[in-house]
A and B are shown apart, each in its own frame.
Chain A
Amino acid sequence: DAGVIQSPRHEVTEMGQEVTLRCKPISGHNSLFWYRQTMMRGLELLIYFNNNVPIDDSGMPEDRFSAKMPNASFSTLKIQPSEPRDSAVYFCASSLSSGAFYEQYFGPGTRLTVT
């Protein structure tokens, strides 16, 4: 398996633009997680899905952020409109199930810069 795939790897955009981050989880994994990592705030859980259903989106910072998982092999995280404070590395991870018993497999991340 190729592991968790994220695209793009780097994104530079101007404030106000829409940004869409993409993730393909490992086949057979039922849980998918979106994280944001910054020096100031560390690794933050934004939202996670079980069986394509959003379970907890309490970490989504604002209504400008939205996430979807239309099927078991694809998820998107959208920011509209983007702001400079959204600059961060965004990670997608997947696991067999949610909970700290199950190992999460992380993608390489998308480094987002909003100017």
Chain B
Amino acid sequence: SQQGEEDPQALSIQEGENATMNCSYKTSINNLQWYRQNSGRGLVHLILIRSNEREKHSGRLRVTLDTSKKSSSLLITASRAADTASYFCATDAATSYDKVIFGPGTSLSVIP
């Protein structure tokens, strides 16, 4: 079974707006990553947040982690058309911290 699941499955916003995607997971984790996938391409790592961290920033990206709720959110501020992509969270697997499991992803469309 999947460790992480993103919400919503799809999101459509206007350029300039903020986009928020959520990831929920089932069991305790050590690390959580966010990746982006542009259409027809491989995934690209965006940011890592460790279980003892609550928030991290990278450019227009802000990631939060709430271990009590077993959830993480990815906020993209001032979105651009180039942000159109699918976004995935990845966590340690429930049975092995050595294994990484990807969620089903959120498809983001940014309309110019």
Chain A residues at the B interface, C-beta cutoff of 8 Å? 4, 33, 35, 42-43, 45, 48, 50, 55-56, 91, 93, 98-101, 103-109
Q: Is the CB of A101 within 8 A of B99?
A: no
CB distance from B81 to the nearest CB of A (A): 22
Q: Is the CB of B31 within 8 A of A103?
A: no
In chain B, positions 1-56 with a C-beta closer than 8 Å to chain A are: 29-33, 35, 40-45, 48, 50
In chain B, positions 63-112 with a C-beta closer than 8 Å to chain A are: 88, 90-92, 96-105
Residues of chain B at interface, number, CB under 8 A: 28
CB distance from A80 to the nearest CB of B (A): 25
- Between A and B, 13 residue pairs with Cβ closer than 8 Å are A33-B100, A43-B88, A43-B102, A50-B98, A93-B43, A98-B98, A98-B100, A99-B31, A100-B32, A100-B48, A100-B97, A106-B42, A109-B40
Report the Cα distance A93→B101, complex, angstroms. Answer: 13
Q: Is the CB of B100 within 8 A of A99?
A: yes
- Residues in B neighbouring A98, C-beta threshold 8 A: 98-100
Q: Is the CB of A45 within 8 A of B99?
A: yes
Q: Is the CB of A100 within 8 A of B31?
A: yes
